[in-house]
Amino acid sequence: MWRRKASGLSATPRGAAVASTALVVSFTLVLASTARAKEPEDTSKKSASLETAVYADSDHVTVFTPAINGNVENVVDGASLHGSYLVDVVSAASVDIISTASRRWHEVRHAGALSGEYKPHDLGIGFSASVSSEPDYFSYGASGHLSYDLDEKNTSLFFGYGYGHDTIGRAGTSFATFARSLQRGSFLGGIDQVIGPSTLGTLSLGVIIENGDQSKPYRYIPMFSAAEAAKTPAGASVDYVNAHRLFERPLEQLPLARRRFALSSQIAHRLEFSTVRASERLYIDNWGLKASTTDARWFVDASERVRLWPHVRFHAQSPVSFWQRAYVSDGQPGFSLPEFRTGDRELGPMWAVTGGGGAKVFLGSSAHPHFFAVSLEADAVYTSYLDDLYISSRTGVLGSLTLELEEP
């Protein structure tokens, strides 16, 4: 027997960030459920969902992501388990690829995650582990966190640490022949605070320490003379760049260490028939990039079985300190080149606005209306690149369809 459980979905614009939460293999859940059903008192709550997301944009990138997700709450008193598995099917012919007269490429990424928490009283402990694999990138990570409730659970403190390791390679080439390593340590601390009878706030600080060369092994940066660089316009076409660049076109080179800080806040307020949820994230790192991301959703209980929500998001960022639209090479005899050089638009100045919404319909029986639910979410994203070659804007659409089951 299954019970309804709300499953939030956050729509993210790029293929690598499309997948959200995770599910346990449904067979395991069924097995656990069956085993539990034989016990005299099964207080666990089980849920599972199947999600299909599609992303496509004007830069000729398409991502198709099927995912399964499973949760078991209260396995034993205060314990819960969550698991997920997804596949990203990426097809890209973006301007970065076109600029080298290459054709569309296709790639598949597999990712799985498992997490759990045990919090029988005020003190809780949790863990998570994840792994992601694609032909030229392998990543794994694990984290642990503590949480502690105070003031009759009106306040909850949390702190966690995570470690991640990425192996960066080149498609079609074994990691033994070519590979770079990137290590990542993450700290997250914060506070959940009940602000009022219907209002919950969260404030957190995240710190990520990255060591390793995360330069893209496929990205070569066109070089210009000083005179040409000054004339090269934003959004210069592939043909323009090819005609005006120098013969030198070195590989991207990023700094070998990155320190990231993010201060996030979120507030949720329950109205009579709706819930408003808003968040703000301020980001800064030692590469000089500063960003602000504001997100808001308004969940409206249109009826007992229908929930609707509009969604808006705005993101703006400044470039990294070594960003140049057109990099300058001083040419012979010494080939003086910029020590740090990139063509990654995600490191340049940009802003993006997202608008969309979603709907969730509970289709269970009258006795258990939330046993089965269908969610549909769609967002459109417009991104403006303020100081880039090849492209000055991009429009994308992201949609997802989720089927959920929840034990009553």
Q: Which of positions 178-197 make contact with other proteins (CB under 8 A)?
A: 178, 189-191, 193
| 334 scored as a contact of other proteins (CB under 8 A) | yes
Question: What are the φ/ψ torsions at residue 27 (nearest 5 degrees)?
Answer: -60, -40
Minimum distance of other proteins from residue 75's CB (angstroms)? 30
Query: What are the residues facing 299 on neighbouring strands?
Result: 275
| Contact assessment for residue 372 and residue 348, using Cβ atoms and an 8 Å cutoff | no
Minimum distance of other proteins from residue 356's CB (angstroms)? 13
Among 151, 152, 272, 304, contact with other proteins (rule: CB under 8 A): 151
Minimum distance of other proteins from residue 228's CB (angstroms)? 15
Pairing outcome for strands 105-118 and 123-134: antiparallel
Site for other proteins in 16-55 (CB under 8 A): 54-55
| 199 scored as a contact of other proteins (CB under 8 A) | no
Q: Amino acid identity, residue 354?
A: T
Minimum distance of other proteins from residue 337's CB (angstroms)? 5
Q: Which stretch binds other proteins (CB under 8 A): 73-81, 121-129, 385-393, 396-404?
A: 396-404
**Residue indicated by tokens 């046993």:** 371
Among 250, 355, 357, 408, contact with other proteins (rule: CB under 8 A): 250
Among 118, 161, 175, 220, contact with other proteins (rule: CB under 8 A): 220
C-alpha distances in Å from residue 247, one per residue of 6, 250, 408: 56, 10, 67
Q: Which stretch binds other proteins (CB under 8 A): 20-28, 116-124, 291-299, 395-403?
A: 395-403
Minimum distance of other proteins from residue 167's CB (angstroms)? 16
269-308: b (≥16 Cβ within 10 Å) or e: eeeeeebbbebebebebebebebebebbbbbbeeeeeebb
C-alpha to C-alpha distance for 93 and 81, rounded to whole angstroms: 39
Q: Amino acid identity, residue 131?
A: V
C-alpha to C-alpha distance for 315 and 170, rounded to whole angstroms: 31
Among 2, 85, 287, 385, contact with other proteins (rule: CB under 8 A): 287
Nearer to other proteins, 205 or 312 (CB): 205
| 357 scored as a contact of other proteins (CB under 8 A) | no
C-alpha dihedral, 19 to 23 to 26 to 30, nearest 10°:
-160
- In a 13 Å sphere around the CA of 72, the CA atoms on its Cβ side amount to 23
Among 108, 198, 310, 335, contact with other proteins (rule: CB under 8 A): 335
Nearer to other proteins, 237 or 274 (CB): 237
**Residue indicated by tokens 């034989």:** 38
Site for other proteins in 259-278 (CB under 8 A): 259, 261, 263
Nearer to other proteins, 25 or 207 (CB): 207
Minimum distance of other proteins from residue 115's CB (angstroms)? 24
Minimum distance of other proteins from residue 1's CB (angstroms)? 25
Among 6, 14, 16, 62, contact with other proteins (rule: CB under 8 A): 62
- In a 13 Å sphere around the CA of 60, the CA atoms on its Cβ side amount to 12
The DSSP secondary structure of 378-394, one letter per residue, reads: EEEEEEEESS-SS-SEE
| 376 scored as a contact of other proteins (CB under 8 A) | yes
Site for other proteins in 84-123 (CB under 8 A): 91, 93, 97-104
C-alpha to C-alpha distance for 147 and 124, rounded to whole angstroms: 5
Minimum distance of other proteins from residue 129's CB (angstroms)? 27
Nearer to other proteins, 142 or 208 (CB): 208
C-alpha to C-alpha distance for 83 and 111, rounded to whole angstroms: 11
Site for other proteins in 299-328 (CB under 8 A): 320-324
| 150 scored as a contact of other proteins (CB under 8 A) | yes
Among 6, 129, 146, 207, contact with other proteins (rule: CB under 8 A): 207
Site for other proteins in 226-245 (CB under 8 A): 238, 242
| Contact assessment for residue 348 and residue 386, using Cβ atoms and an 8 Å cutoff | yes
C-alpha distances in Å from residue 239, one per residue of 235, 245, 325, 348, 389: 11, 10, 16, 22, 11
* Binding residue count for other proteins, defined by CB under 8 A: 78
Q: Which stretch binds other proteins (CB under 8 A): 68-76, 247-255, 267-275, 385-393?
A: 247-255
Query: What are the residues facing 85 on neighbouring strands?
Result: 68, 112
